[in-house]
Amino acid sequence: MKYVSTRGGDTPKSFCEVVLEGLCRDGGLSMPESIPQISKETLTKWRNLTSYSELALEVASLYATDIPREDLQKLVENAYNTQNFGVESIISERSIGENIKVLGLSEGPTFAFKDMAMQFLGQLFPYVLEKMDRTLNIVGATSGDTGSSAIHAMKGKPRINVVMLSPHNRMSAFQTAQMYSVQDKNIYNIAVEGVFDDCQDLVKALNNDIAFKEKFNLGAVNSINFARILAQIIYYFKGYFMTATSNDEVIDVVIPSGNFGNIFAGIMARQMGLPIRKLILATNENNVLDEFFKTGVYKPRASKDVHLTSSPSMDIAKASNFERFIYLIAGSEATKALWEQIDTQGYFDLTKGELWADRAEWNIESGESSHQNRIETIQRIYKESNELIDPHTADGVFVGSHYLDGTTQVCLETAKPIKFYETIKQAVNDAPFDLAEVEKIEALPQKKEVMANDAALLRQFIESALN
């Protein structure tokens, strides 16, 4: 399996090469040259596998073809086990209503679905670096959960440094503490005076500076890294097997979405042959993606127009992985042209072409949720099913409620509710939280560098810290 750029201007590369690369040299994102097709017989075989790591091996081996199977088996076994995740099945599922289920993806060390990918990358990066005799300086951006998941997966790992950018004073107290309290020497936290999109733009600016990127061995841990998408494809298959009674059943999946990575993994899984009918995208007040699927116009917003919400991990107005979706439906030439339109006029409009006329084939629905919607949804679900859900998952459940028609609807959980206990308490005042562990983490000393939104300052920091 070789990987190409969504913009068509890079040479094909192996899986291990794109794992370390981040952005392609032409500014695009890596995509496999073809999407593996899964037969009904293979789907039956996969359903009968007993452990999550066995399924992970089968799915990953289709994409990581340059890693020997026995090595890949060790990587997934070291990532997906009860030491790293709180349940033997790695993920869980629970019912919150008739034909409505929540897929629990937050059993990992930082209580967020990002652990599902980061624990795999935490094994994959050192393996590839050792194999290639290289070091890697990961420069990442986070709206809250990616950062802590990456840091806890990479801390103390050989050949790796992590420079994680996060928006200053725009995360929950628990998210902030999880990240900034890590004291390992290979971890550097930078609080950028701006929003997540500013952090993401800084990462892209450094990646697009090819000379700087190569001099300092820069890599990415955000979902621009295809290995993140691969790891997320795996739990779509496992989630289907857990929530559908047979492979003849179709399900709908609801995905709270900010950077479009989580839903894009679902798009890939469905294209591989997983029986998903609709993918339902949920946004908060930062509704750029909902706006596109409703109107055909994709118009990323300026940093000053990003709303600060009670589902902060989705406070994103430039969805990096959306480029991969456009590539799938339009090809590299059109993708490159459309992103040039974004650079010149700030948006693109698909409504005048065949792509928009064919949108029914996408089977993607979307909707927006407000603060009041998520508070009322948290209250309702707790009252009806005695289950707590976090604010981002509540965005998903609220949007999904508009598309219920008797088909099993699976809502992807993004985090454990305790990560956002301040908001949960607004909805359920007597929520049964044991905050002892939270208070213990929040009381730890924190290490971070506050920095203006300035690529030159970030370059100076990296030159000083990593030389």
- Active-site residue set: 114
Going by DSSP bridges, is the β-strand pair 92-97/100-104 parallel, antiparallel, or unpaired? antiparallel
Report the amino acid identity of residue 34.
S
Count of CA atoms in the C-beta half-sphere (13 A) of 297: 8
Using H for helix, E for strand and C for coil, what is the string for 217-275? Answer: CEECCCCCCHHHHHHHHHHHHHHHHHHCCCCCCCEEEEEECCCCHHHHHHHHHHHHCCC
Report the largest interatomic distance among the alpha carbons of the chain, rounded to a whole angstrom.
Answer: 58
User: 213-218 contacts: CB < 8 A, separation 24 or more?
Assistant: 213/22, 216/137, 216/462, 216/463, 216/466, 217/134, 217/135, 217/136, 217/137, 218/22, 218/136, 218/137, 218/138, 218/139
CA 317, distance to chain mean position in Å, is: 15
3-class state of residue 351 by DSSP = coil
Nearest to 393 by CA among 28, 176, 113: 113
Report the amino acid identity of residue 270.
R
Tokens in use for 34?
């073809």
**Which residue in the block uniquely carries the two structure tokens 């679900």?**
381
3-class state of residue 450 by DSSP = strand
Residues with Cβ < 8 Å from 336, sequence gap 6 or more? 7, 8, 9, 26, 28
Nearest to 237 by CA among 213, 269, 280: 269
Q: How far apart are CA 185 and CA 175, in angstroms?
A: 20
Q: From the DSSP assignment, how many helices (H) and strands (E) are in the chain?
A: 20, 15
Nearest to 252 by CA among 239, 261, 262: 239
- How many residues does the structure list for the chain? 467
Q: How far apart are CA 206 and CA 196, in angstroms?
A: 16
**Which residue in the block uniquely carries the two structure tokens 């309702």?**
380
CB 32 within 8 A of CB 1: yes
